[in-house]
C-alpha cells in the first residue's frame, strides 16, 4: 500500500488517464519529460567557472557591437543629405 492508495486504485487511475489522453500523447509527454530531466542533469554537472568565462566573452562581444553600431550610425548621419527647413 502506497500512502493509502492500493494497487487496484492505481490500476484504475492508469486506465482512466490512458482513456482520456491516449497512448500517443502520453508517449510524447514522457519523451518531453525525459528530455527536460536530461537537460537539467547536464546543467547541474557543468562547471560554473566555464559558464562565467562564456558569459564574460559574451559581454565583451556586446561591447564590441555597441562600438560598431555607434560608428555605423555616425557614418549614416554624415551621409544623409541635410533637409532644408
- Measure the CA–CA gap between 76 and 81, rounded to whole angstroms: 10
Could you tell me the pTM of the whole model?
Answer: 0.39
Domain limits, the chain: 1-45, 47-78
* CB-CB contact of 60 with 53 (8 Å): no
pLDDT in tens, 53-65: 777 776 666 566 6
pLDDT of residue 71: 78
Q: State how far the alpha carbon of 7 is from the alpha carbons of 34, 45, 82, in Å.
A: 25, 37, 82
Q: Where does the pLDDT of residue 1 fall: very low under 50, low under 70, confident under 90, or very high at 90 and above?
A: very low
Q: Cell numbers of 33, please?
A: 519529460
Amino acid at each position: 500500500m502506497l500512502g493509502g492508495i492500493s494497487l487496484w486504485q492505481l490500476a484504475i487511475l492508469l486506465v482512466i488517464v490512458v482513456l482520456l489522453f491516449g497512448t500517443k500523447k502520453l508517449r510524447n509527454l514522457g519523451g518531453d519529460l525525459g528530455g527536460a530531466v536530461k537537460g537539467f542533469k547536464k546543467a547541474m554537472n557543468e562547471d560554473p567557472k566555464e559558464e562565467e568565462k562564456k558569459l564574460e566573452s559574451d559581454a565583451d562581444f556586446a561591447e564590441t557591437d555597441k562600438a560598431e553600431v555607434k560608428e555605423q550610425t555616425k557614418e549614416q548621419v554624415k551621409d544623409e543629405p541635410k533637409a532644408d527647413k
